[in-house]
Structure 1
């Protein structure tokens, strides 16, 4: 792999186009990360004009991920994880959260963004229970055939599949359902599916108006972005048993039997929803 110089004197891994914004890098910037470029920052500034709540959404998604992985490892006894659409490494990644609870936990990350591939593989060089698969998540048959994924899905133990802020980058609803169902069908009995997804309540209210404008604002960069209704997001868990509190705003989500530790500011228009579900054991 050949590295190229960039404007600030650093290096850009081969295949990374710094002139076009990347979903992963925009999200990284929203979280205060440094693995982003001016094209990402400019789009983020445009997003903030429509949705100033965006950094709140990003942090809520990270909180959700931390709570979900911790609960799945500590309380549900899950030791195998697939993080699909993992994004750029941050301060607390899925393998770090899970292995903090159980050092034997195994994690496979899946993403095909060149920025994520470069950083993800470098991060995991010294962790023999964590692997990175560079694959297109919209082609589940190919992903499931990958040796690292296939090994994790071998019969005998349940798996947790995490799809955080990923499925809303597939524009067609029926295609999205089919993709989610293919992954869900491959999970062993007793496995868990955890999803966060952009939501448009479609009720003509403030959130509806905001996300409609937001989609237009980012269409040139993210043409496949699709905000969906709560019912549509819930349908992605078909065949699974949704855990309480169901598919709800991330600010209202909590681990089963737990509670929300702190309420989001009252003026936040929450457009990110999430849920966790279990595949019946038989």
Structure 2
């Protein structure tokens, strides 16, 4: 489906800024300038982006290899880079199905141009703040069977969601559609330093035209896992989530972190705490 929305490349996007932080090529001057300003507040953010990407690789490998998951939904997928979800998953299951969901027109156009020839993937235009509408999309249903166990990924994206749009509610509404034994992966930008939280939140809201939520605290991310069963090592700085190489441990973000983990959907309907 063609996307005819106008693209304003003078306004940075979180997806293209992330691409620049990973030394990618699909970013523009506005994104690069925004990243340079971000690095003034949080100079180790490039390390944060790399560690986030390595976490994605490890957690998808774990889901495919150890849990036999063969279908994935990646909310806020961003621009395709090396070792995307489908590449990691299809190393273990050649027919692993992956649906990437984003609403950035540049992400959609580039993703579709790269993945058009892969019959087991799709890139769809969707807003994670309206998860039911996304999960009912024909393009998604073509690949995803909710009678089977599914992994849903929210990799470093829920900080783009404002409090009024209820990030925890988004998770609950997605989980309600999943078969027990399915998995949810969540990681979120957090800082223990209130100054960093406030400064980066204000910067990103200004730079992205208010298309941003906020940097949160760890306890707030813990609450996103309510009624889910975290798998070891639990909810942690993702640099420490089952690291596969000591070489990837030496360079970590100082000012803030990506905090999260892998959790399983329990048997039976999830019940809210009394």
How high is the TM-score relative to the length of structure 1? Answer: 0.87
Q: Distance in 2 between matches of 1:44 and 1:157?
A: 40
Q: Which residue of 2 aligns with 1:103?
A: 94
Structure 1: runs of 5 or more not aligned: 4-12, 202-206
Query: 1:9-48, aligned counterparts within 5 Å?
Result: 15-48=6-39
Q: Which residue of 2 aligns with 1:179?
A: 170
Structure ranking higher on relative contact order (CA contacts 8 Å, 6+ apart): 2
**Structure 2 residue 235 is the aligned partner of structure 1 residue 247:** yes
Q: Distance in 1 between matches of 2:2 and 2:169?
A: 37
Q: Which residue of 2 aligns with 1:129?
A: 120
RMSD, aligned α-carbons? 2.3
- 1:110–1:135 contact (8 Å) kept in structure 2: yes
Q: Which residue of 2 aligns with 1:148?
A: 139
SS of 2:174's equivalent in the other structure is helix
Q: Which residue of 1 aligns with 2:70?
A: 79
Distance 1:152 1:260, change over 3 A: farther
How high is the TM-score relative to the length of structure 2? Answer: 0.89
Q: Distance in 1 between matches of 2:267 and 2:111?
A: 33
Q: Which of 209, 212, 216 is the equivalent residue of 2:202?
A: 216
1:248-280 residue CA offsets vs partner (Å, 9 max, x unmatched):
11222227xx78664244773342112110012
Report how many aligned residue pairs link the two structures: 266
Distance 1:177 1:260, change over 3 A: farther
SS of 1:107's equivalent in the other structure is strand
Q: Which residue of 1 aligns with 2:271?
A: none
Q: Distance in 2 between matches of 1:164 and 1:231?
A: 18
1:102-135 residue CA offsets vs partner (Å, 9 max, x unmatched):
1011101111100111001111111001111111
Distance 1:209 1:85, change over 3 A: same
Structure 2: runs of 5 or more not aligned: 269-274
Q: Which residue of 2 aligns with 1:280?
A: 266
- 1:251–1:264 contact (8 Å) kept in structure 2: no
